[in-house]
Structure 1
């Protein structure tokens, strides 16, 4: 897409109307608010639903199996962004991808809300995985479209958008988590479905007035002579996959452990192929190639960060359920409530960080340095959570304030990395691969959780000090290396800060 077309899109969006930002930020803020309410509400109770006994309303799976499924599910959610980004870039644009994705997510939550067997559970997971892949990267991509590349409000706008994500993430574990763990898991999932419906209504009824042309264009459309070939290949690929599943599952070749291993390989292989294709494409300019090289260490740092942060819904969720005092200060705490801590701290601190970056202006740290700070905080958050076992042993319940402190520290890192990474991705992306590069950003979370599916096998109460200490220490070492390399990375970014 040419700079002229980018400016035409920006000009079509009312530039004042939502806290001094483009009016379209209102639509995107509340669409993503309700989508995240739906997703994080479901996620807050999903691992408990899997390993709680059938008599308690769960599926009765082994706990380690449930933790592995949770990690793989999270990986596939972000991996599916490849599909959503490609469809938006080549076929129907980001706006329609958002709408179709929301429909699929809502249907997935409805499937979870129906009491059934393990087969219905996996059907719901498939719908949510594909739907989130269509919606999530494309919402973020449209946020980038409503600002000109030179607009100084851009990073602050992404921080406000990120605060909306986390407002939904804060409320949903309190609402869905309470209903799911104390009343019925299926009723909790029903509330998540209603949340996605509300997000769809906001998007449909406000997009025309607030977003203008943003999201309506197809950046790199299929040529007429390409369409038949591409659709034939897709159909053949789906048919081959269906045959393979039909053969390997009944014969026992494709087991859960094998599937976890395959997703782990794909989590590393797919981003590598993505970087290679974009770098070698004739549609990528020399300046864009240099920026892609700069993006590689940022991507690696993001994988390390999310490998720690995403364990808040697996290892730390189990830690909250089984290692933490849930009767505290006269309150009976639901283990799902701890899932609200991360977004709560982001809501509190995101405006402070947004103000701080704007206040610093050109004096603010470079993107690589912000990423190095994020890794430092992530490592410290894991070192903090090993201290209870060091001081009190592994056979006593832990004061919940230790978990609160760990979540708080990792949030400091998240605010140095996530909104900054979203903004940097929109600026470093090759023009012909704008939505797909946003999908690549989310693949760092996919890779992290694919790795986590293997890591959770090594966690136990007996070795929790070694587990948290090794991973936390590795993050701190990587943060030091990234900080030292940041001036060189900045050169490759060709003027992007």
Structure 2
């Protein structure tokens, strides 16, 4: 039995065997998501005569932002349902089924009304809320708290995400070019079905066997704390969502996506401020912990600013590729959505390089602190949008000549490098700074930064029009200015933050020692 455990414990590149099936589950789930996401704005903004919905671009971009932002917000409720009712495994299973039905609903738009398109998006959001956090938790159960392979295991798992997001646009881009929109949407549904099958019939049995060999219970199969109210809360939420969808479909209520995104963005900003104020005033934290909370708040705002730029890939960048980019190569027209694979390709290439660089600098005591890395991320994003401003200027003065695709690729490279400076560093920093008693809450707030960024990106991205090239240099330059201002503010706060943290930490240590004496 011990020999079997050792074999399974190193069966997948020196990692537990179940990591392989969880890797492929996540790969195909991300394939389904990134397969349809870049199609959304192109489909909604396309003329009805071209098979689209004929929406104006600001509305289409707002819906994309609302779709992605709601997905991050739903992870909070999805994680709560998993902890209090379903458990991790059933949440992933039911989430997969709901996502698959969402893709099916979108595919039915070709036969029935556009109602099925929007209903499908709602189902994908709900299903992803259950799926997204739970499968990551299950990866964590493969390792003990002191297992040195844990970070490397999550890095391998992260590669599954990026492989899925790299492959999906390449396939869906070809399908919609030659066969129409709905086959492109349909292939995402097939990806989700593969994820569902891999998880249910391969991952779960492997997890059970792995736990049996190491003599542990399947903690991921049951709720952490059984809450009898959880099913009623989940049912009430689904009822409200179903009622809103039905009333909207019947035309009884009218929803303006741009207004919804605007109000939701403002509401989230107010909610974040109020919640941080609550943590500072009512959680009985010491001075050092309060300063840690303040730093978390500052970094969260900086992250939201970064994501508002980064998440314009499926909106403004996607539309720029469609309208203003020369996509002809040796007589072949590159599908616009192929550019959505560039970020994932760069992540796969440069993530190991970034990890190696941080380790090497740390050994020499030259590793930049987390605030410096955030500043670098904002400046890299600003440089990426500066390239886009130059690209749009070249089109404006080019007498009808389209921009080189290298402008987009260069901008996406800079944004990717910024992502590598901010995203993993941000996750690590939040777990270090957040006081233990509220660490889960701070991580939930961190993910709201991604939701906020997606919503803001949806509002910005819809301003790209085929007949409004004159506005684009200014639009992209405003993003540059906002990102640079954010970097400057962080730079100015860097020294005071370090000083305050050092002083309060010293004071708290002295106080503790005196109380001990």
| 2: CA distance, partners of 1:434 / 1:13 | 35
Change (3 A) 1:216 1:235: closer
- Residue 203 of structure 1 pairs with residue 199 of structure 2: yes
Per-residue displacement from partner, 1:261-315 (whole Å, max 9, x unpaired)? 3322343245446556767787999987665443222211211111111101000
Aligned length in residues: 480
Change (3 A) 1:141 1:482: farther
| 1: CA distance, partners of 2:172 / 2:95 | 21
Residue 443 of structure 1, CA deviation: 1.8
Change (3 A) 1:25 1:286: farther
Change (3 A) 1:85 1:12: farther
Greater RCO between the two (CA within 8 Å, min separation 6)? Answer: 1
Counterpart selection for 1:171 from 167, 172, 196: 167
Structure 1: runs of 5+ lacking an equivalent: 1-10
**Could you tell me whether the CA contact under 8 Å between 1:13 and 1:146 is conserved in 2?**
no
| 2: CA distance, partners of 1:121 / 1:243 | 17
What is the correspondence of 1:10-25 to structure 2 with a 5 Å cutoff?
16-25=10-19
Residue 419 of structure 1, CA deviation: 2.8
Indicate the larger mover: 435-444 or 300-309: 435-444
Which residue pairs with 1:383 in the alignment?
386
Change (3 A) 1:63 1:299: same
| 1: CA distance, partners of 2:46 / 2:463 | 21
Which residue pairs with 2:185 in the alignment?
189
Per-residue displacement from partner, 1:224-267 (whole Å, max 9, x unpaired)? xxx34x65566556656666777788455643343233322343
Indicate the larger mover: 429-438 or 178-187: 429-438
| 2: CA distance, partners of 1:44 / 1:243 | 28
Which residue pairs with 2:214 in the alignment?
none
Indicate the larger mover: 300-309 or 324-333: 324-333
| 1: CA distance, partners of 2:460 / 2:89 | 37
What is the correspondence of 1:90-109 to structure 2 with a 5 Å cutoff?
90-109=84-103
**Could you tell me whether the CA contact under 8 Å between 2:22 and 2:203 is conserved in 1?**
no
What is the correspondence of 1:65-84 to structure 2 with a 5 Å cutoff?
65-84=59-78
| 2: CA distance, partners of 1:138 / 1:427 | 22
Residue 465 of structure 1, CA deviation: 1.0
What is the correspondence of 1:362-377 to structure 2 with a 5 Å cutoff?
363=365, 364-377=367-380
Residue 445 of structure 1, CA deviation: 1.5
Per-residue displacement from partner, 1:429-474 (whole Å, max 9, x unpaired)? 6667766654433321210122223323555421111111111222
| 1: CA distance, partners of 2:289 / 2:489 | 24
**Could you tell me whether the CA contact under 8 Å between 1:382 and 1:472 is conserved in 2?**
yes
**Could you tell me whether the CA contact under 8 Å between 2:60 and 2:462 is conserved in 1?**
no
Residue 385 of structure 1, CA deviation: 1.0
**Could you tell me whether the CA contact under 8 Å between 2:79 and 2:133 is conserved in 1?**
yes
**Could you tell me whether the CA contact under 8 Å between 1:142 and 1:214 is conserved in 2?**
no
Which residue pairs with 1:478 in the alignment?
486
Per-residue displacement from partner, 1:331-376 (whole Å, max 9, x unpaired)? 3211111111111111111222233334445643333332222212
**Could you tell me whether the CA contact under 8 Å between 2:65 and 2:261 is conserved in 1?**
no
Change (3 A) 1:458 1:50: closer
| 2: CA distance, partners of 1:287 / 1:479 | 25
Residue 36 of structure 1, CA deviation: 0.8
What is the correspondence of 1:80-479 to structure 2 with a 5 Å cutoff?
80-114=74-108, 115=110, 116-147=112-143, 153-204=149-200, 205-210=202-207, 212=211, 213=218, 215-216=220-221, 218-219=223-224, 221-222=225-226, 227-228=228-229, 250=251, 254-272=255-273, 275=276, 291-361=292-362, 363=365, 364-393=367-396, 395-425=400-430, 437-456=442-461, 458-459=463-464, 460-479=468-487
Structure 2: runs of 5+ lacking an equivalent: 212-217, 506-517
| 1: CA distance, partners of 2:161 / 2:127 | 17
| 2: CA distance, partners of 1:150 / 1:480 | 39
| 2: CA distance, partners of 1:433 / 1:208 | 34
**Could you tell me whether the CA contact under 8 Å between 1:353 and 1:415 is conserved in 2?**
yes
| 2: CA distance, partners of 1:432 / 1:102 | 32
Per-residue displacement from partner, 1:175-194 (whole Å, max 9, x unpaired)? 12211232122112221111
**Could you tell me whether the CA contact under 8 Å between 1:75 and 1:447 is conserved in 2?**
yes
| 2: CA distance, partners of 1:140 / 1:485 | 34
| 2: CA distance, partners of 1:316 / 1:112 | 24
Residue 422 of structure 1, CA deviation: 3.6
Change (3 A) 1:188 1:236: closer
**Could you tell me whether the CA contact under 8 Å between 2:86 and 2:223 is conserved in 1?**
yes
The two structures have a TM-score, normalised by structure 1, of: 0.84
Which residue pairs with 1:8 in the alignment?
none
Change (3 A) 1:19 1:354: farther
**Could you tell me whether the CA contact under 8 Å between 2:385 and 2:411 is conserved in 1?**
yes
**Could you tell me whether the CA contact under 8 Å between 2:71 and 2:451 is conserved in 1?**
yes
Indicate the larger mover: 401-410 or 329-338: 329-338
Residue 424 of structure 1, CA deviation: 4.1
Residue 162 of structure 1, CA deviation: 2.3
Per-residue displacement from partner, 1:92-124 (whole Å, max 9, x unpaired)? 333332222221111111111222321011110
**Could you tell me whether the CA contact under 8 Å between 1:13 and 1:24 is conserved in 2?**
no
| 1: CA distance, partners of 2:145 / 2:460 | 39
